[in-house]
Amino acid sequence: MTSAPVSVPALNTSRSQDLFSAAQTLMPGGVSSPVRAFRSVGGDPIVFDRVKGAYAWDVDGNRYIDYIGSWGPAICGHARPEVIGALHEALDRGTSFGAPCALENTLAEMVIEAVPSVEMVRFVNSGTEACMSVLRLMRAFTGRDKLIKFEGCYHGHADMFLVKAGSGVATLGLPDSPGVPRSTTANTLTAPYNDLEAVKQLFADNPGEIAGVILEPVVGNAGFITPEPGFLEGLRELTTEHGALLTFDEVMTGFRISYGGAQARFGITPDLTTLGKVIGGGLPVGAYGGKAEIMAMVAPAGPMYQAGTLSGNPLAMTAGIKTLELLKQPGSYERLEAITKRLSDGILAAGREAGLPICGGSISAMFGFFLCDGPVRNFEEAKATDSQRFGRLHRAMLERGVYLAPSAFEAGFTSLAHSDADIDATLSAFRDCFAAIA
Ligand SMILES: *Cc1c(COP(=O)(O)O)cnc(C)c1O
């Protein structure tokens, strides 16, 4: 006799469903950003009412342990009193100046001190803006047009990055979305992640034409994929050898993989870096920075134009400063590393116990797993994951009060607010749910 499945009271999400039905008549797909619509896991999305610490509450009153953290910014926990308190004070002095503000100096100093490659920084309003601006800068500085990116790496939704290199057209730079002209992506070359030989070949085939290479130094947008030993080093050498620039897109990994980002953790210093998510502490922010010599190209110091009405606004700067202050306290990253590793090890063990193919891991406050044997080194291999099974897992976890990213191809995030008891409860839910989907 097998043991009876653990019964869980059905999740009542009727208000979420009503709101989402209405939203679909008001906004395309009912959302402001596609992955929120749960299309890749099936079922209706949960409409949140409020967030605090490690938890999110939906409009029906259900509580979830949250492993998305607003897709990264909530690394100190949602709605930290220090951040909220500082925001209240900042609010009373006005929401936007459109003029220089002292808070920009403070956050810039913190970013420059923390991130090895950054000697000067420009604040923008999103990761997308940071990446599109950094590409313009790479081109402006080198006087070259071509860019190398990696399959499965996400750099925001600007035209030039919207290239999915399908197998047949591996390096042709065909656009991924209607509305993106072929001419816009013609200069976007792609290679599989962790494949240094492919990058070498692109440099050989396009001599003197490649402005730079951009990548997620730890991938979070194709599931969680880590750089193999030698990959980042190899890219550093190749770009230097060919007079091209190396950009780490640390919008996700910045202040998450370590206080100095992935570049500090791995000891590889790129020429340029993009940031977002954590440095806004939950408000809309992005930034790009790098060597002073390169940043001197940016207007008004130099000729490369880039601007923003709300850039560097006092609310976003305040939330960013407070978040970095909290992260800087001794023990923060040790704590993040320890709980995330315990979570990740527990997930893998639970999956194997249930007889499922599973692989994955964690670095600092970022983790992920794939329902396949692995190891997964690139997007092509990530696609071997059983996404239907992941969909069932996602739903089952929701019913047990755990909110995972609604896609098999997203990394998970922990925060300083996740307690040991939260991790235990999560692992217990995983054990039940893996058994249910095995
Ligand atoms: C989220 C993300 C972006 C885009 O940032 P937005 O603020 O959503 O525009 C770019 N690059 C990476 C690596 C990201 O994770």
Instruction: Specify the length of the chain in residues.
Output: 438
Of all protein residues, the one whose alpha carbon is nearest to atom 6 of ligand 1 is 127
pLDDT of residue 91: 97
In a domain, 355, yes or no: yes
The residues facing 57 across adjacent strands are 50, 63
pLDDT of residue 10: 81
Q: Answer yes or no: do 364 and 322 share one domain.
A: no
How far, CA to CA in Å, does 42 sit from each of 38, 389, 395?
6, 11, 8
* Alpha-carbon dihedral sign for residues 222, 147, 263, 276: negative
**How big, in percent rounded to 5, are the helix, strand and coil portions of the chain?**
40, 15, 45
Nearest to 408 by CA among 435, 374, 364: 374
Of all protein residues, the one whose alpha carbon is nearest to atom 5 of ligand 1 is 127
Q: Is the pTM of this model over 0.75?
A: yes
CA of 101 to the centre of ligand 1 (A): 25
In a domain, 398, yes or no: yes
Q: Answer yes or no: do 403 and 273 share one domain.
A: no
In a domain, 176, yes or no: yes
Looking at 58, 66, 195, 249, which residue is catalytic? 249
Q: How far apart are the first and last CA of the chain?
A: 17
We report the CATH number of the domain holding residue 293 as 3.40.640.10
* Each residue's pLDDT expressed in tens, for the chain with a length of 438 residues: 344 455 666 899 999 999 999 999 999 999 999 899 998 898 899 999 999 999 999 999 999 999 999 999 999 999 999 999 999 999 999 999 999 999 999 999 999 999 999 999 999 999 999 999 999 999 999 999 999 999 999 999 999 998 864 333 444 566 778 888 888 899 999 999 999 999 999 999 999 999 999 999 999 999 999 999 999 999 999 999 999 999 999 999 999 999 999 999 999 999 999 999 999 999 999 999 999 999 999 999 999 999 999 999 999 999 999 999 999 999 999 999 999 999 999 999 999 999 999 999 999 999 999 999 989 999 999 988 888 999 999 999 999 999 999 999 999 999 999 999 999 999 999 999 999 999
Residue 288 known to be catalytic = no
pLDDT of residue 7: 61
pLDDT of residue 85: 98
Which residues does ligand 1 sit against, CB inside 6 Å? 126-128, 131, 154-156, 216, 220-221, 249, 251-252, 276, 286
Domain count, the chain: 2
CA of 433 to the centre of ligand 1 (A): 30
CA of 255 to the centre of ligand 1 (A): 14
Which atom of ligand 1 lies at the shortest distance from residue 71's CA?
A: 1
In a domain, 2, yes or no: no
Looking at 277, 288, 422, 432, which residue is catalytic? 277
Distance CA 401, CA 431 (A): 14
267's CB contacts (< 8 A; 6+ apart) are: none
Residue 154 known to be catalytic = yes
Distance CA 230, CA 200 (A): 14
Residue at a domain's end among 302, 327, 352: 327
Residue 420 known to be catalytic = no
CA of 281 to the centre of ligand 1 (A): 14
Domain that includes residue 153, residue range? 81-327
Nearest to 309 by CA among 156, 97, 146, 159: 97
In a domain, 164, yes or no: yes
Find where tokens 């509305």 sit.
179
In a domain, 357, yes or no: yes
